[in-house]
Each structure stands twice: as structure tokens, then as C-alpha cells.
Structure 1
Amino acid sequence: MSNDKNAEFLKATMMGPNAMRVAEELASRLNINENMRILDLGCGCGLSTLLLAKKYGSSVFAADLWISPTENYERFRSIGIDDKTVPISVDATQGLPFANGYFDLLFTVDAYHYFGDTAEMLPSLIPFVKKGGCIAVAIPGLKYEFGKNVPDVMKPFWSAEVARTIRSLTWWKDLWSAAEGIEIVDIREMDCCKQAWDEWLTSPNPYAIQDKKMMEAENGQYFNLIQLIAKVI
């Protein structure tokens, strides 16, 4: 972000707390190399894909529901990673078009909370990862469950969608612990939370502009970023 050109690119392509920053911290907890085939699920505009392909040299399938493969392909080509990336459109809730055991790593940043909040989702994804491979997730979360006691300052922002998707570390741990075929390696609050959120709020994205009021009201009291890593066994 210290480079003006990079900062403008990041601001234009962020879709939530700075995915490059979050992906970098998540990736630092994994053993990623150029021989790996990675599914970047819910890649958005491809910031996490860029990190995985450029820094680690991995082959990355950049899968998203909201951003078209053509748009991502053109972006990947412009930054010189089109030879390492396969942009694809998928809806994770409808099943994935890949062979079982195809990926060394399933990596997802700022996205899993939108589709992974059911008991069925994680078990449906596990078969696509090789035994010994990992599923690594980083998502916005809460320091504790609000339940029916939503803090007054947060009530204006607490829609049914937010209440469904933004959950606590304990909630996610309980959900993942119920899945068979994995061993949980690491669940923790991420260090980059404030920085990633602050950088997101500099984006011209309309959702970032909306989030400014919410983050001013939250004032560091309730939100975190949650990292979940599980090994397929």
C-alpha cells in the first residue's frame, strides 16, 4: 500500500477488508509452493489469486459467483498471471465442477461466510482436496455472539444477512468440529484485522462507503477477522 500505483489497484479491486492483506497473513500459516494446484474459492476481483500466483508461483483456479471470468481473465492478463490462473464462475452452494482430490489447497478470503454457514457446506468441499491437503479460510467475524443482545450502536447495521454471516470464532469452531474427514490445524483471530478494515474503507467501492458508518459505530469493540485451517485426512 506504500506504492501509489499498487494502492490505487487495491482500492479499485477490494470487495471487503483488504483481501491482499488478509490473504498474505493466511498464506503465511501454510506451506505453499509452485507445484501446488489451488482453488481460490470466492476470489472476487482476484487479489488473493494474485498473491498465490505471483508470490508463490502456484497454479490457481480463481472461482467466483459475482465477478465474471472474463473480467478476471482480463485483469490477470494485465498483471501477467494469466499463465498461472484459470478464472471460472461457480456457485459453491450448487456443487463444484472439479474432480475429487484435484486440489492441494482450498483457499478462501472474505467470502466463505456468505455460503459456508451451514453444516453441509464444509463436508461438500472436503472431497475436492487431496488427503494431506488443506482448507484455509479467512473471514470477518465477531469477538462474541450477539444473539438477541445486539449492541445498540450496531442495531442500525444488523440486518438478517449480517446476523447470518458474521459469527464468532467459537461458532465457527463448533461448526467445523462437527465435520468428518478433516483435522482442525488452526483457528484464531487474525492480526491484520484493523489494518485490513482501514484499507477497505479507503476504497471508492459503494459498500466501503456504507461500511464507514458501521465501523465508526463499532469502534474496535466487536469485529475481528477469523482464520480457520483444516487438514484433509
Structure 2
Amino acid sequence: MSIDSYNYYGRDPHYLSERLLPYVRRGGMLYLSIPGMACDCHDNLPVCLLKSWTPEQLDYVHDIAWWRAMIEPTPGVEIISMQPMLCTDEAWEDWLACDNEYAAGDRAAVEAGALEYLNTIAIVLRKL
């Protein structure tokens, strides 16, 4: 299970097959929850996103189609499901309400409308 971290290291196309799957037994499940984009907009980043994050920081956040294209070619793994989570707004409310310097830095983007472009993605995989 990985919550809010796979988006940092899982962008390496070999990470799943070389670094995770060797430690999962056949039939084992992997559950990933990552921040995502409703629709990948890296070619034309909205101003609201840039109020809190640089383009380099936003490169860690992609949409479901991008993650599917990253994971599908991986041998030995089956995508069981990949979908937006319903808790995105609630998770952002909790995050922005906490006393954390990173949460404080994210407030400008959210107040400017960033949640129109962001979501949370749930990915369920099975090792073949």
C-alpha cells in the first residue's frame, strides 16, 4: 500500500517491475493512492496551479491516462482498477487546515481554483 508517494518514484518506467514487484508474491495486490490531475495539462499549466507549485513540482502529478500508459507495459502486473477517488475535496480540506508549512504554501493555488484541475487517483494492481 502506498499513499501519496508513488507519484514521486513511480514515474520511472522500470520502478514497478524492478523495485516493487520482486517483493510481492504471485496474486498479491498493490494499492496506490496518488495526487493526480483530472486531465493532464502540462503543456498549458493553469495560472492557479502556478501560484503554489513550479512546473517541475507539477511534473509529479498526472492524470489517469498518463498513469495507465506508464503501468500497462509493465510485465507481470494486471491493472484491476484505476479511478478518481471521491475523497479529493475532503482530503484537501484536511490538508489545508493543518498547521504545516507545505499545506500553507498550497493554499494560494487552491484558493485560486486549483481543485478544478486536481484529483486523487486510486490504483489497484495484481501481480501475475
TM above 0.5, yes or no, is yes
1:133 to 9, 28, 35: 28
In the aligned structure 2, how far is the partner of 1:135 from the partner of 1:192? 20
2:58 to 152, 163, 167: 163
Asked if structure 1 preserves the Cα contact closer than 8 Å seen for 2:31 and 2:122, the reply is: yes
Identity in percent? 29
In the aligned structure 2, how far is the partner of 1:162 from the partner of 1:218? 18
Question: How far has the Cα of 1:219 moved from its partner?
Answer: 4.8
In the aligned structure 2, how far is the partner of 1:205 from the partner of 1:155? 20
Structure 2 residue matching 1:118: 3-state secondary structure: coil
Per the alignment, residue 228 of structure 1 pairs with 123
Per the alignment, residue 117 of structure 1 pairs with 11
* 1:149 counterpart = 2:36: no
| Deviation per residue, 1:20-46 (Å, 9 max, x gap) | xxxxxxxxxxxxxxxxxxxxxxxxxxx
Tell me, which stretches of 5 or more residues in structure 1 are unaligned?
A: 1-106
* 1:191 counterpart = 2:86: yes
2:99 to 199, 204, 225: 204
Question: How far has the Cα of 1:163 moved from its partner?
Answer: 2.5
> Residue 197 and residue 167 in structure 1: after superposition, are their counterparts in 2 closer, same or farther (change >3 A)?
same
**Counterpart residue type for residue 225 of structure 1:** T
**Cα RMSD over matched residues?**
1.3
> Residue 162 and residue 205 in structure 1: after superposition, are their counterparts in 2 closer, same or farther (change >3 A)?
same
Length-normalised TM-score, structure 2: 0.93
Q: Which has the higher contact order (CA 8 A, sep 6+)?
A: 2
* 1:176 counterpart = 2:93: no
**Counterpart residue type for residue 121 of structure 1:** Y
In the aligned structure 1, how far is the partner of 2:52 from the partner of 2:42? 15
Question: How far has the Cα of 1:117 moved from its partner?
Answer: 0.7
Bigger radius of gyration: 1
| Deviation per residue, 1:127-173 (Å, 9 max, x gap) | 11010101110000001111321112223334143222011111001
User: How many residue pairs align between the two structures?
Assistant: 127
2:108 to 196, 199, 213: 213
In the aligned structure 2, how far is the partner of 1:219 from the partner of 1:116? 23
Length-normalised TM-score, structure 1: 0.52
In the aligned structure 2, how far is the partner of 1:136 from the partner of 1:161? 26
Asked if structure 1 preserves the Cα contact closer than 8 Å seen for 2:48 and 2:114, the reply is: no
